[in-house]
Amino acid sequence: MASTTIDITINGNRRSVSVERSPSQPGRFLVSWDDSIRVVDAQKLDQDVWSLLMPETGFVSHRVRCVDVDSDNVRLHINDIVLDASVDNNRQKFLSRAGASSVTDDSAQIVAPMPGKVVRILVKPNEEIKAHQPVIVVEAMKMENELSSGRDGRVSKIIVEEGDSVEAGKILVVIE
């Protein structure tokens, strides 16, 4: 399977990153840079938003949004971290595959980190919440996982109901 290589610079550090799609598992990629190789499960959540899960890190979900800033730069929103980056080659391929948009958005989403069942919803629509406040409980592999907000905000939408089965990367709650 052919890989795509991009040269990306973040905070002055330049890396050549190779991305190869798994031929046998849809949504799975091998990503390598320097001497590191990572398996990444990617699910597109919205036009320019992805949920990235890395099995070797315990299936922690990373919400990644790619915004086209100008002809030379992109802005990556990774959970609550914002990084400015430049992509030196294969830029258009990178942007189109990442679904980059030029629209900014102040909403945050809580996504299911793995397949499971919604056990409890701890907030109500329009409720003001604080960073790190528990929002929803999802049971996966016979363990309850309490998912918290990454920032202060207001619950704008609760997409699921208690008892719903959810897949990894499913948006559960939207916070503005």
In a domain, 22, yes or no: yes
Cβ of 149: how many Cβ atoms within 10 Å? Answer: 21
Q: Are residues 45 and 90 in the same domain?
A: yes
| Residue 122: band (very low, low, confident or very high) from pLDDT cuts 50, 70, 90 | very high
pLDDT of residue 107: 53
Q: Are residues 129 and 77 in the same domain?
A: no
| Residue 106: band (very low, low, confident or very high) from pLDDT cuts 50, 70, 90 | very low
d(CA 175, CA 155): 5
Q: Are residues 114 and 92 in the same domain?
A: no
Q: Which domain covers residue 13, as residue numbers? A: 3-98
**Count of the separate structural domains present in the chain:** 2
Three-class secondary structure of residue 92 per DSSP: helix
pLDDT of residue 136: 92
β-strand pairing of 36-46 with 49-54: antiparallel
Q: Which two tokens stand for residue 64?
A: 């990644």
Q: Are residues 8 and 88 in the same domain?
A: yes
